[in-house]
Amino acid sequence: MPLLSTASPRDFQPVCHLRSMHAVVVCGVPPPRRKGWRRWAEKRYDKVFGIFDSVINSRLADASTGKHADAGAGDFLDSLLDLMSAGKIARDDVTSIMFDLFGAGTDTIAITVEWAMAELLRNPSVMTKARAEMNHALAGKKTIEENDVEKLPYLQAVLREAMRLHPAAPILVPHRAEEDGAEIGGYAVPKGSTVIFNVWAIMRDPAAWERPEEFMPERFMDMAEEVDFRGKDYKFIPFGAGRRLCPGLLMAERVVPFILASLLHSFEWRLPGAQGSTSWKSQEKEGPEGEDDNKADDAQSEDGLEEDTLPRGKGIRRRNKKYMGPDWAV
């Protein structure tokens, strides 16, 4: 967390590499148009697990010497090591749980932040409003802390609207019909049937949302209590709902707004050159059907974004010493 409060564009570059690795190691997706992908994946699998093992070994060594005892309250890894010491989980379980946490969380968090930033760049008036809220709430602070995010309701609304339009998991994990009598679109759903929910369609349903295709964070300012991440209202369920609610919800609820706030607080953002918000278009891929694997599509990125090519690294710069003033530029 402290690293993100003094952000640099280079801090976020390793995430992109880990995300491509996650696609193969976690999901089993082979690298496109490449032979020997199993060996390729196994090497990276061993490399990633080696990183986690080294962190765990270091923590165990610190604990044995009492070095880590003065660090204050324990973190997630400490809790896992306590369970291991009590014989409730094995050492391999600790490594696997840490891998699952970072493997599943890195990809979804990065996609969510990317789409939120994309929508802010396409809607500079929204970015202006979010920055004005930060300038007022932070009262001249040069770094943002995790608890500062609670003072930014409009930024939270921006994030919810980005997740409504671009859910990281557009299709929920499969559920099962627990009883007979359910009917969808005139079709009976027998008990025991596997049911898959299209969250992307639900959160763009014109019957539930006014002007559903537009990016309007203000809609969440009026319904902050009724519509939250935990599925109180089934028209907004980016993390699912019920007993199969995403286990990473609490982490995402704290980390994603903090990353987004850090990016807005530390840097000025604008489209490079003379490109305006209407000249740059982006949308999700529709899926693999009809795609030619032998042709490279330069307009599509690996994370599901389809966008015009932008010069890498341009349009982003650190905010100057007066970045808390009202006259900053987007």
The domain that contains 94 carries what CATH number?
Answer: 1.10.630.10
Q: Average pLDDT, stretch 89-108?
A: 86
Query: Looking at the domain assignment, is residue 267 inside a domain?
Result: yes
Residue type at position 120: L
Query: Looking at the domain assignment, is residue 275 inside a domain?
Result: yes
Q: Is 246 annotated as a binding residue?
A: yes
CA 173 to CA 258: how far, in whole Å? 27
pLDDT of 202 strictly over 60? yes
Query: Looking at the domain assignment, is residue 214 inside a domain?
Result: yes
Query: Looking at the domain assignment, is residue 266 inside a domain?
Result: yes
Query: Looking at the domain assignment, is residue 329 inside a domain?
Result: no
**Could you tell me the pTM of the whole model?**
0.69
Q: Average pLDDT, stretch 52-80?
A: 79
Phi, psi dihedrals of residue 305, rounded to the nearest 5° = -85, 140
Query: Looking at the domain assignment, is residue 38 inside a domain?
Result: no
Query: Looking at the domain assignment, is residue 85 inside a domain?
Result: no
Total number of domains constituting the chain: 1
pLDDT of 326 strictly over 50? no
**For residue 124, what are the domain limits?**
2-30+90-287+300-318
CA dihedral 309, 311, 313, 318 (to 10 degrees): -100
Query: Looking at the domain assignment, is residue 53 inside a domain?
Result: no
Residue 138's pLDDT is 87
